[in-house]
Amino acid sequence: MLNSPLCFIVGIYLYYVLLARIIISFVLMFKPGWAPPSGLRPILDLIYAITDPPVNALRKVVPQPYNFPLDLSFLVWFIIVLLAHNVICGAGV
């Protein structure tokens, strides 16, 4: 089951898209005025378009405690995708 297409797609989403979103968030957190170069902008827009809908839905459910600098809803989404990847790819939980 390790070579299933669904395992591959969830793995790409987890290891490339979500990790790219984490890196972008850290860059924006440590350098607030940073603007991406024009060639990188479409890629960043795609990453946000893919990750924003589930994260925005979780923001309605997951509370953000007192000026905590990390987005807990994104962390919850990351854990959900990680667990889904483990179950789909046969690694178990």
pLDDT tens string 23-75: 888 888 888 888 888 889 999 999 999 999 999 999 888 887 787 767 788 88
90 vs 3: which has the higher pLDDT: 90
Give the C-alpha distances (Å, rounded to integers) separating 29 from 6, 7, 23, 24, 86: 33, 32, 10, 9, 30
pTM of the model: 0.77
Helix (H) or strand (E) holding 78: helix 72-88
Beta carbons of 71 and 25 less than 8 angstroms apart: yes
| Residues in contact with 64: Cβ distance below 8 Å, sequence separation at least 6, in sequence order | 71, 72, 73
